[in-house]
């Protein structure tokens, strides 16, 4: 949906394909938020406080979670690559913006809002039927043992900017 709107230059796409192997490795590193949190090298490279405009106007955010996708440059030591990121974004009952990481806290598959017809009003992980409530907390009795990470966010000129996804405080 939203990626269709994003203009992608030829160069960007070439980078996307040509840096395939590097992106591959980087993508793997991104999967572990824990590693991000404890590894100062990685932390430095993604410069805490780096926010990306995810091309979503705040007025277009509803109480229904929608998926946004964007790309960030990532430097791992000497290697620079582009990494695709995603978030589920909505406004909670107080009107506050919530941006959740789609990475399942069990083994890292990508969860979807209402991804299973059997589980309305939940985030669903297709890999081992993991479930999360709308606020991102894991449903007890399903494989995940923690809630989805939460993105830092800020609003500038009516546009949503997302920063780093942070694990929740120990539940």
Partner 1 sequence: MKWIKKDLQQFIQAKEYVDTAVVPLLPFQLSNDAKLDKDAFQSEALTVFLRELEKELTGRVMLIPEYHYVKTADKEAELDRIRNWMNDIQAQPFHHVFFITSDSSWKKHEQALPGTMIWLPITSDESADPGRMQSIIREHVQQVSELIRSYWKDSKT
List interacting residues with ligand FES (CB under 6 A). 104, 106-109, 125, 127-128, 130, 143-144
Give every CB contact of residue 146 below 8 A, 6+ residues apart in sequence. 105, 138, 167, 168, 171
Choice between 27 and 75, CB closer to partner 1: 27
H-run or E-run covering 97? strand 97-100
Count the Cβ atoms, other than its own, within 10 Å of residue 94.
Answer: 6
Closest approach, Cβ 126 to ligand FES, in A, equals: 8
**Residue 94: contacted member of ligand FES, partner 1, none (CB under 5 to 8 Å, by partner type):** none
Choice between 69 and 152, CB closer to partner 1: 69
Which of helix, strand or coil describes residue 138?
Answer: strand
Residue 52 token pair: 């990306």
Choice between 35 and 154, CB closer to partner 1: 35
**Residue 62: contacted member of partner 1, ligand FES, none (CB under 5 to 8 Å, by partner type):** none
Choice between 49 and 141, CB closer to partner 1: 141
Task: Enumerate helices (H) and strands (E) in the chain, giving the number of each.
Answer: 5, 9
Binding site for partner 1 (CB under 8 A): 3-4, 6-10, 12-14, 16-18, 20, 23-25, 27-29, 31-32, 35, 84, 104, 106-110, 125-128, 143
Closest approach, Cβ 159 to ligand FES, in A, equals: 31
**Residue 24: contacted member of partner 1, ligand FES, none (CB under 5 to 8 Å, by partner type):** partner 1
Pairing of β 112-113 and β 97-100: unpaired
Residue 167 token pair: 């694990």
């Amino acid at each position: 949906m939203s990626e269709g709107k994003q203009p992608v230059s030829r160069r960007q796409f070439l980078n996307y394909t040509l840096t395939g192997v590097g992106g591959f490795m980087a993508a793997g590193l991104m999967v572990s938020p824990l590693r991000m949190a404890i590894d100062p090298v990685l932390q430095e490279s993604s410069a805490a406080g780096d926010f990306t405009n995810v091309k979503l106007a705040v007025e277009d955010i509803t109480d229904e979670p929608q998926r946004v996708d964007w790309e960030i440059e990532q430097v791992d030591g000497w290697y620079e690559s582009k990494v695709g990121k995603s978030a589920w974004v909505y406004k909670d009952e107080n009107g506050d913006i919530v941006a959740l990481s789609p990475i399942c806290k069990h083994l890292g598959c990508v969860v979807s809002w209402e991804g299973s017809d059997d589980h309305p009003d939940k985030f669903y992980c297709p890999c081992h039927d993991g479930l999360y409530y709308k606020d991102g907390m894991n449903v007890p009795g399903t494989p995940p043992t923690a809630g989805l990470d939460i993105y830092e966010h800020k609003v500038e000129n009516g546009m949503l900017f997302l920063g780093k996804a942070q694990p929740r405080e120990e539940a």
